[in-house]
Amino acid sequence: MKDLKYLLAYAIPLTAVVGIVFRSYWSFFTPVFTFVIIPILEILLPVKTENLDEKSRISKNENKYYNLLLYLNVPIVFGIIFWFLGNLSTANYSTFEVIGLTISVGIVVGSNGINVGHELGHRKLQFERLLGKLLLLPALYMHFFIEHNFGHHLNAATPEDPATARFNQSVYSFWLTSTFRQYIKAWKIQGDLLKRSNLSYFSFKNDMFWYLIIQATYLATIYFFFGSFALIIALIIAVTGVILLETINYIEHYGLIRKKKASGRYERVTEIHSWNSNHVIGRVILYELTRHSDHHYRSHKKFQLLDYHDISPQMPYGYPTSMVLSLVPPLWFKVMNKEIPNEMKPLK
């Protein structure tokens, strides 16, 4: 029965469906659920730090149920997007409803699209990686696959990593620096990968070109079937999903830094270079993304196997609550700066 807890990860798409069906004030149900109800539940419910025993670990690693949970997000995410976009020309939505539902669908793209795409992007099977890239498509963020796997996991908690927020950097500044630097870096990484394989930058194996073509085709399809207004809404949905992702990126490594050795190289990534959270609601809603310390320590591990390490820096609140907190920089700095290990803080 414990395995059923991850069905809660479908709660956010379900709230978006409720909004589309019932409209009116329900149009804002998803943001209220995500950033009001979940944070309240995280504060009220206990924190669970226990890890799996070896028998359970083997069983859960082989259980296809966990894979199916991830795969189902593909039809769910795309179904909600196209359902809403199709309704724009027939449902006679008010401006209030369009705003609420656009934000709601954008949150679905961030939580069940990009987040699940991230998990599948780390898998070894080509099929699963393909699904991961597909889930990045509605956010127009397919380059994330390259930069995250070949850049972020190598450079996390260093100044070279666009997705690591600096000490006292606000989330609003981070949205800009992370988004643009990651995109530029993805092109550079792709060029380096091609060079190592003795392939031209303009090779058919340049995935960045394919991502441009696929994303343009996605937008052209929306325009063709649903019109120009739906195209604009699709772009806003994409931006909303990206902002959600980058806010998570912000809290995952804020202020943490790896030491540089005498050789000029950085120390290897360990459990102390990512913020961890064991708040149960955030864990299941985000497929254990909140056990981010272990994810960076052992990036090959599936979400259901991630462990808690007592040496990992612990967030005072869960990830959804921390995301809300980060939107008020003075409050965020007051809460989080004192949690950063002293040896990682910049010299005054």
Give the model's confidence band at 264: pLDDT under 50 very low, under 70 low, under 90 confident, else very high: confident
- Mean pLDDT confidence for 81-95: 95
Distances (CA, A) of 57 to 54, 96, 124: 5, 47, 19
Largest CA distance in the chain: 65
- Does 303 fall in a domain? no
Q: How many domains does the chain have?
A: 1
Render pLDDT for 15-59 as a digit per residue (tens, 0 to 9). 999 999 999 999 999 999 999 999 999 989 889 999 999 999 999
- H-assigned helices in 254-297: 280-285, 292-297
Q: 3-7, 237-241, 280-284: which has the highest mean pLDDT?
A: 237-241
Secondary structure (3-state) at 270: coil
Residue type, 54: E
Q: What is the pLDDT of residue 348?
A: 61
Lowest mean pLDDT among 100-104, 322-326, 339-343: 339-343
**263 vs 130, higher pLDDT:** 130
Q: Are 272 and 311 in contact (CB under 8 A)?
A: yes
- Does 334 fall in a domain? no
Q: Which residue has the tokens 């059923």?
A: 4
- Does 295 fall in a domain? no
- Mean pLDDT confidence for 122-141: 97
- Sequence-distant (6+) residues with CB within 8 A of 335 are 316, 325
- Does 346 fall in a domain? no
Residue-range definition of the domain harbouring residue 153: 2-245
- Mean pLDDT confidence for 81-92: 95
- Does 305 fall in a domain? no
Provide the percentage of residues in the chain whose pLDDT is more than 90.
91
Render pLDDT for 5-15 as a digit per residue (tens, 0 to 9). 999 999 999 99
Distance CA 78, CA 134 (A): 10
**46 vs 107, higher pLDDT:** 107
- Does 263 fall in a domain? no
Strands (E), the chain: none
- Does 287 fall in a domain? no
Distance CA 22, CA 189 (A): 46
Give the model's confidence band at 169: pLDDT under 50 very low, under 70 low, under 90 confident, else very high: very high
Residue 130's nearest CA partner among 214, 193, 248, 234 is 214
- Does 179 fall in a domain? yes
Would you give the end-to-end CA distance of the chain in angstroms? 52
pLDDT at 347 over 80: no
